[in-house]
C-alpha cells in the first residue's frame, strides 16, 4: 500500500494556498478570532468573513479566494485530549468561489490537491455526499472515477452545512482518509473514527436558512470549503493523533519538560492532561493576540474558562 509523503504543518499550509493561488484564487489573510458577525462569539469557520458576500450584502473584491483561517470551537471541549482529533483552536484551510465555479470544479480541485499535491493514495480515500445530491454523486463517480460503493450518501445532520442555525448553507461533500484499508470495502462506516478521518469538507453554498428553517436560494451558487490543517498533518506525519503533530507537540513537549515527565512513558491520564494543555495554550494565546481579555461574560468568559481548565489540568 502506498504511503503519502511526510510534510510539516507549514508545508501543508503553503501547498494549499499555493495550489489555489495558481488557480486564480486571491490569498487573503486570516480574519480575527473576534468576528464581525454578531451571531457567534468567535470565528468558527473559514467562511465567516465571507458571509456577507454569500448573502449578497457585500460585493466580492475577488471571485475566488483562499485562506488559512484561525478558528475556535468550544462545543466539543470535553473531548479535547481524550479523542485523537478534537480541538478548541484549529486552522481551517479553505478555497472559496463567489458565484464563479461550483460543484464540478470544487470537486476536481479537491481531488487533484489531495492526490497530486499531498500524495494521498486514491485507494485510501472515501467520500460522502448529501443523500439527495445526485449531481455530486455523479461527479465523483463519472468524472473522478470513484467506485460507487466508496461514495457514501449521508443525511442532513452530516452533509448539509450551515454556520449556526440560520444563514448561508448548502449540501456538502466530504473526503475521508482510510487508516485501515486492509479492513476492506465490505463495511465502510464513516462514523468509525478509529478507521476514517474526515479532512476536507466542500460546501455547495446555495441557500439562506431563516429561523423557521425555510431555505431561500442565494443570488449566486458559491463554494465554501474547509480542510483541517491539524488533521492533514496527522495523516501526513503518520502520528496517532493531531496532538503529536509538529503543530502542537512542541507545546506538549515543553509542558512535559517543565513537569519532569517523559511523554512517551507517561500514563494515559498524564497524556490527556498534556494534550489539553497543548490545545488550550494555543487558543488562549491566539485569543489574547486578537485582543480578547478575561471576563465574566461572552468571549472573555470563554478565555477565562480555557485558562482555568488549563491551570486545573496542570495541577495548580
Ligand atoms: N464551512 C465548512 C466547515 O466549517 C467548510 O468550510 O466545515
Atom of ligand 1 nearest to the CA of 226: 6
**Last residue of a domain, which of 226, 241, 256?**
241
pLDDT at 315 > cutoff 70: no
Quote the number of domains for the chain.
2
- Domain membership of residue 214 (yes or no) is yes
Residue 138 lies in a domain: yes
For residue 44, which atom of ligand 1 is closest to its CA?
4
In the structure, what pLDDT confidence band is assigned to residue 4 with cuts at 50, 70 and 90?
confident
316 alpha carbon – ligand 1 mean position (Å):
36
Distance from the alpha carbon of residue 260 to the mean position of ligand 1, in angstroms: 39
Q: For 153-170, what is each residue's pLDDT tens digit?
A: 999 889 999 987 889 999
Say how many CA atoms lie within 13 Å of 187 toward its Cβ.
5
Q: Where does a domain end: 241, 264, 296?
A: 241
pLDDT higher than 70, residue 204: yes
Instruction: State yes or no: pLDDT of 27 exceeds 90.
Output: yes
Query: What pLDDT is stored for residue 314 in this prediction?
Result: 64
Ligand 1: atom nearest CA of 46 is: 6
Same domain, 44 and 123: yes
Q: Which of 241, 266, 282 is the last residue of a domain?
A: 241
Cα separation, 93 vs 145, whole angstroms: 25
Q: Are 233 and 253 contained in the same domain?
A: no
Distance CA 107, CA 269 (A): 41
What is the spatial distance between Cα 8 and Cα 14, in angstroms, rounded to a whole number? 10
Q: How far is the CA of 212 from the centre of ligand 1 (A)?
A: 22
Q: Is residue 301 a part of any domain in this protein?
A: yes
Ligand 1 binding pocket, CB closer than 6 Å: 45-47, 94, 161, 201, 203, 224-226
pLDDT digits (tens, 9 = 90+) for 177-202: 999 999 999 889 999 999 999 999 99
pLDDT tens-digit series, residues 32-47 = 999 999 989 999 999 9
Taking alpha carbons only, the member of 224, 218, 173 closest to residue 199 is 173
Q: pLDDT tens, 251-293?
A: 999 999 999 999 999 999 999 999 999 999 999 999 999 999 9
Q: Kindly state whether residue 275 falls inside one of the protein's structural domains.
A: yes
pLDDT at site 283 = 97
**CA 80 to the chain's CA centroid:** 15
- C-alpha 257 – ligand 1 centre gap (Å): 36
Spacing, Cα 195 to ligand 1 middle (Å): 22
Residue 306: pLDDT band with limits 50, 70, 90: very high
Query: Which atom of ligand 1 has the smallest separation from the CA of 203?
Result: 5
State in Å: Cα 3 to ligand 1 middle. Answer: 27
Across 111-145, b (16+ Cβ under 10 Å) vs e yields bebbbeebebeeebbbbbbbbebeebbebbbeebe
30, 13: one domain: yes
The alpha carbon of 267 and the centre of ligand 1 are apart by a number of angstroms equal to 35
116/256 same-domain check: no
Measured by CA distance, the residue closest to atom 4 of ligand 1 is 45
Atom of ligand 1 nearest to the CA of 163: 1
Name the closest-CA residue to atom 3, ligand 1: 226
Q: Per the domain annotation, does 210 fall within a domain?
A: yes
pLDDT tens digits for 102-130?
A: 999 999 999 999 999 999 999 999 999 99
CA of residue 4 to ligand 1 center, whole Å:
25
What pLDDT is recorded for position 5?
Answer: 82
Q: If you average pLDDT over every residue of the chain, what do you get?
A: 95
Strand 125-130 relative to strand 151-154, pairing: parallel
Name the closest-CA residue to atom 6, ligand 1: 226
Let me know whether 128 and 265 are in one domain: no
The residue among 83 and 236 whose pLDDT is bigger is 236
User: What residue numbers bound the domain in which 56 lies?
Assistant: 9-241
Q: What is the pTM of this model?
A: 0.95
Give the position, in ligand 1's atom list, of the atom nearest the Cα of 202.
5
Amino acid at each position: 500500500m502506498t504511503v503519502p509523503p511526510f510534510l510539516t504543518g507549514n508545508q501543508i499550509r503553503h501547498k494549499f494556498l499555493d495550489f489555489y493561488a495558481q488557480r486564480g484564487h486571491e490569498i487573503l489573510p486570516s480574519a480575527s478570532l473576534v468576528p464581525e458577525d454578531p451571531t457567534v462569539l468567535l470565528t468558527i469557520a473559514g467562511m465567516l468573513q465571507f458571509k456577507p458576500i454569500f448573502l449578497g450584502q457585500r460585493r466580492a473584491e475577488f471571485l475566488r479566494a483562499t485562506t488559512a483561517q484561525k478558528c475556535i470551537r468550544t462545543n466539543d471541549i470535553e473531548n479535547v485530549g481524550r479523542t485523537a482529533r478534537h480541538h478548541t483552536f484549529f486552522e481551517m484551510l479553505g478555497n472559496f468561489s463567489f458565484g464563479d465555479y461550483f460543484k464540478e470544479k470544487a470537486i476536481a480541485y479537491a481531488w487533484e490537491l489531495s492526490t497530486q499535491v499531498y500524495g494521498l493514495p486514491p485507494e485510501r480515500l472515501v467520500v460522502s455526499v448529501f443523500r439527495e445530491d445526485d449531481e455530486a454523486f455523479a461527479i465523483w463517480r463519472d468524472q473522478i472515477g470513484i467506485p460507487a460503493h466508496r461514495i457514501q450518501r449521508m443525511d442532513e445532520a452530516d452533509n448539509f452545512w450551515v454556520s449556526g442555525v440560520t444563514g448561508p448553507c448548502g449540501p456538502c461533500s466530504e473526503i475521508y482518509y482510510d487508516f485501515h484499508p486492509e479492513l476492506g470495502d465490505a463495511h465502510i462506516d464513516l462514523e468509525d473514527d478509529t478507521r476514517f478521518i474526515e479532512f476536507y469538507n466542500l460546501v455547495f453554498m446555495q441557500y439562506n436558512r431563516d429561523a423557521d428553517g425555510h431555505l431561500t436560494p442565494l443570488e449566486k451558487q458559491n463554494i465554501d470549503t474547509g480542510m483541517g490543517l491539524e488533521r492533514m498533518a496527522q495523516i501526513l506525519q503518520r502520528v496517532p493523533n493531531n496532538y503529536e503533530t509538529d503543530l502542537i507537540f512542541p507545546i506538549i513537549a515543553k509542558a512535559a519538560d517543565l513537569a519532569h515527565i517523559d511523554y512517551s512513558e507517561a500514563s494515559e491520564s498524564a497524556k490527556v492532561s498534556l494534550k489539553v494543555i497543548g490545545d488550550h495554550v494555543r487558543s488562549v494565546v491566539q485569543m489574547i493576540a486578537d485582543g480578547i481579555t478575561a471576563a465574566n461574560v461572552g468571549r472573555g468568559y470563554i478565555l477565562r474558562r480555557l485558562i482555568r481548565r488549563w491551570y486545573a489540568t496542570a495541577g495548580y
